[in-house]
Every structure is written in C-alpha cells, then in structure tokens.
Structure 1
Amino acid sequence: MYRTPALLAPLALALAASAFAAGEHDHAHEHQPLHGGVVVEVKDVDYELVARPAAVQLHLRDHGKPADVSQASARLTLLTGTDKQEAVLRPAGGKLEAAGSFRLAPGTKAVVVVTRPGKPAATARFTLK
C-alpha cells in the first residue's frame, strides 16, 4: 500500500512552522526609524542612517536603548550609480556624524563599518529611499 502522501503532510506542516518561526524576533523592541532615516539590525543593534546632502548621521540602539558612541567611529562608503564617496563618522552628541557634500539619490547604497571599544567591528548595509 502506498502511504507516502500521508507522511508528507505532517512533515510539510512542521517545516512550514519552523520557517515561519525563524522569521520572528524574540525581542520586544521595534525597528522603526526614530530620526527619519533607514534602519537595519545587526546582532541585536539597530543602526539608523540619516543621510542628507550636507551631513550623514548614524544612530545606534542596543536592544532598543541608545548605545554609547562616545568612543566609537565608523567608516562610511556611499555608492550612487558609479560614484563612490567615503567619510569617517565621529561622535557628535549621542550619534556618529560626518559633515560634507554628499551626493545622494533614491537607491544609493551605504555601507558603514562601526568600531566600538570592547566590541567586534560591525558592518551595516543600507539602501536609501
């Protein structure tokens, strides 16, 4: 007697449930922008990039709370079409910031490598809207 389909239904249901659960977060904080930027999460830290033509800011939240960036720095790379710009972000009032003249457009790719004392370097990737 051929019973393989009867065995496949419970297996498919179990795999679907585990795939659904893998996409859920087990922590309570939101990943919404608080400063009008774009947010990505890397290892339980939210990185919010606020990019404007005259300044770029990076806000960090660790488990939903502002992270200490007083001793941190970040290297920023912006890619707009074939144009590449780089800058160093330094602490400025609870965030990391660089001033300058930045060429930005919807779809600009940004990569930041953040260095904080006592933590491994973290890389966050953004696509500007």
Structure 2
Amino acid sequence: MSQKFRLTVAAGLMALNVASMPAHAHAEHGKPQFGGVVAEAGEAQFEIVGQGNKVVVHATSHGAPFDTAGAKGKLTVLAGSAKSEVVLMPVAPNRLEGTGSLPGGAKLLIFVEWPGRKPLQARAVAP
C-alpha cells in the first residue's frame, strides 16, 4: 500500500472519531436527571420536578449547571380546565423553586428572566 493511501485512510478514520465526539459528550442532553420532565429553552434546559407541594427546576446548559442567580420565573400549570401559577425563585446556583403541584399529564409553560438578558420560555407535559 502506498503512503498516500494510508494517510487518506487514517485521516478518514480520525474524521469519523471527531464527528462522534459531541454526541458522546452530551449523552445526558434532553434526559431527566432528577425524575422530572425536561423543557428546552434556547441556551438552557429546565428539568421540572414536582416534590409534593414544591416544584423544583434544575437549570443546565449542555450538561453543565446554568446560573440562576438573579433570575425569577413563573411556571404555568394547565390541568384540564384548571390553571395555576407557581412563582419560581433561585435557591441554589442552578436551581429555582416554588410552591405548587404538578398533576400528571398537565401542560407546563416555564418562563424565566434575568436582569439584562433575554427571557427564556419552554413547554413540557408533566409525567
């Protein structure tokens, strides 16, 4: 075999390896990590978890914690003809919490804003 052929094959194999790296690096992207439901919102992902009479929202960006300092939010819960709103406040570097419940199958609309940044919103359905 010629040296040129070997280099071409090696370059091709390297390109295949590099192309598969981002998919592997974001293996958790879109998958719930805390037993909730994931809502995609532009640069962030919000995992919405109901814990009794408390709603916890974990914020990430490509698997890394997404800073919620200074954020405020609202979660609208539509369960049949009933509508409720949960006010969300930061309680940890990448977590928001509020008082409310998530009935199974309810439609969820999350809206989060920070001072000086574009607000993020997303939709999901409660498990």
TM-score, normalised relative to structure 1: 0.71
The alpha carbon displacement at 1:117 in A equals: 3.2
The alpha carbon displacement at 1:92 in A equals: 0.8
Residue equivalent to 1:110: 108
What is the distance in 1 between the residues matched to 2:124 and 2:113? Answer: 17
State yes or no: 1:32 paired with 2:31: yes
The alpha carbon displacement at 1:54 in A equals: 0.8
The alpha carbon displacement at 1:51 in A equals: 1.7
Cα displacement string for residues 8-52 of structure 1 (whole angstroms, at most 9, x for unaligned residues): xxxxxxxxxxxxxxxxxx664222111111012222311100123
1:1-129 equivalent positions in 2, closer than 5 A: 28-29=25-26, 30-94=29-93, 95-100=95-100, 102=101, 104-129=102-127
Residue equivalent to 1:3: none
Aligned CA distance change for structure 1 residues 64 and 118 (closer, same or farther; 3 Å)? farther
Counterpart code for 1:99: T
The alpha carbon displacement at 1:128 in A equals: 0.8
Runs of 4+ in structure 1 deviating by more than 3 angstroms, as ranges, are none
The alpha carbon displacement at 1:63 in A equals: 2.3
The alpha carbon displacement at 1:86 in A equals: 0.8
What is the distance in 1 between the residues matched to 2:118 and 2:111? Answer: 10
Residue equivalent to 2:9: none
CA contact (8 A) 2:54 2:97 kept: yes
What is the distance in 2 between the residues matched to 1:33 and 1:86? Answer: 22
The CA RMSD measured in Å over matched residues stands at 1.7
Identity %: 36
Any gaps of 5 or more consecutive residues in structure 1?
1-25
What is the distance in 2 between the residues matched to 1:35 and 1:118? Answer: 29
What is the distance in 1 between the residues matched to 2:92 and 2:80? Answer: 32
Cα displacement string for residues 61-110 of structure 1 (whole angstroms, at most 9, x for unaligned residues): 0222101112111111101111110121001123100024x3x3321111
Counterpart code for 1:115: E
